[in-house]
Homo-oligomer: A and B are copies of this chain.
Amino acid sequence: MDKKYTIKDIAQMAGVSKGTVDRVLHNRGKVSPAALEKINEVLNVIDYEPNLIARNLKSTKVYRICVLLPDPVFDPYWLPCVNGIQDAIKEFKAYNVNIEIHYFNPESTKSFLKTNEAIVAQSPDAVLLTPLFHKETIEIIKQYDELGIMVNTFNNQVESSSIKSFVGQDLYKSGRVAASLMNLILPKGQIAIIHIDESLKNAVHMQEKERGFRSYFDEKNLSDFSLTTLKLKYSNIETKLPAFINENPGLSGIFITTSKAYQIASTLSNITDEKIVLIGYDLIDKNVSFLNQGLIHFLIHQNQKRQAYLGVSTLVEHFLFRKDIPETILLPIDIINVENASFYIS
């Protein structure tokens, strides 16, 4: 009963030509009520699904998708994204899709705006954004909206009615996951939450993680714990972290809300032999190296590669196969330790 019907089949069954069937299916042109009814009758009985292969063979329209990504040269955090996008490019190269990556300097709002202009100039069908800068993103999105360019986002969440979709992780929950792991290793003690950032562009990101982390301990009502927040910059870790350790000799755990746990691990290994539990984010090489050395206990995998891949592939499948684009795709919060890390590194 799973026979595949073609437009020709329907035309024959309804006693009309395939042109008329086509007009009914696509609401194009005029069709007499009589013909409409005959065709609808057939359509109600059978289960017509257009052959996507044939459709995409015919169509000469080339869909253009631009990806706006921070240049991995400035931060290796973004490297997996490039791989994810290249996977998507490879997968869809048989189709009429053109996917381009445009890089910007994550330290510079100017670079962000300039690269956006370059993309706008190309007037693609859709853009996948990494909305690092909130204010600028809102501006840019307005522009895209006016030009009828579809906007998807990933990694960072920005509220805007013009955004079709977001791919990322529930940061609040990921903070809770980190907390649950910390609590498992440390039944009590002082724990620091460290934010490492130069420009506060990840401020919301980090705050959500902290909120989740704290909520876990709040709920548990664990009076055995004391939580301290510490904000560091790349440039002052070497001086401020040792000072902080000195001031807090009872410190037993650190939760790092960015991918820079390796910086803490590295500095820490130079100044103390005490075992401080480190939990951080992302499987970048340096983090994995400290994980293997036992200096980082857990990493939470944000799977940027898959985020980027899904961001692109949902767009492509929307254009090619008319699939719906989900408003939000939340990737699982993968818990990584030294034993299972190798399976997540691609």
* A contacts, CB < 8 Å to B: 49, 51-54, 56-57, 93-95, 170, 173, 176-177, 179-181, 184-185, 216, 330-340, 343-344
- B340 engages A177 (CB within 8 Å): yes
For A180, give its contact among B176, B179, B216, B339 (CB under 8 Å): B339
CA distance A330 to B342 in the complex (A): 11
Residues of B contacting A176 in the complex (Cβ-Cβ under 8 angstroms): 339
Chain B residue nearest to A95 in the complex (CB): B53
Query: Can you list 30 residue pairs at the A/B interface with Cβ under 8 Å?
Result: A49-B93, A49-B94, A51-B57, A51-B94, A53-B53, A53-B56, A53-B57, A53-B95, A57-B57, A173-B339, A173-B343, A177-B337, A177-B339, A177-B340, A180-B337, A180-B338, A180-B339, A181-B337, A184-B184, A330-B343, A331-B343, A332-B340, A332-B344, A333-B340, A333-B343, A334-B334, A334-B335, A334-B340, A335-B336, A335-B337
Residue of A51, A52, A185, A332 contacting most chain B CB atoms (<10 Å) = A332
Quote the shortest CB–CB distance from A309 to chain B (angstroms). 15
For A340, give its contact among B95, B173, B185, B340 (CB under 8 Å): B173
Known A332-B343, A332-B344; 6 more pairs at CB < 8 Å: A49-B93, A173-B339, A173-B340, A332-B334, A333-B340, A334-B335
Chain B residue nearest to A62 in the complex (CB): B4
Quote the shortest CB–CB distance from A306 to chain B (angstroms). 12
CA distance A93 to B53 in the complex (A): 11
CA distance A149 to B53 in the complex (A): 27
Quote the shortest CB–CB distance from A47 to chain B (angstroms). 11
Residues of B contacting A93 in the complex (Cβ-Cβ under 8 angstroms): 49
Chain B residue nearest to A185 in the complex (CB): B184
Residues of B contacting A337 in the complex (Cβ-Cβ under 8 angstroms): 177, 180-181, 335
Chain B residue nearest to A320 in the complex (CB): B53
Pairs of residues from A and B, 3 with the lowest C-beta to C-beta distance, nearest first: A332-B343, A335-B335, A52-B94
Residues of B contacting A51 in the complex (Cβ-Cβ under 8 angstroms): 57, 94
Chain B residue nearest to A98 in the complex (CB): B2
Quote the shortest CB–CB distance from A51 to chain B (angstroms). 6
CA distance A330 to B216 in the complex (A): 33
Residues of B contacting A334 in the complex (Cβ-Cβ under 8 angstroms): 332, 334-335, 340
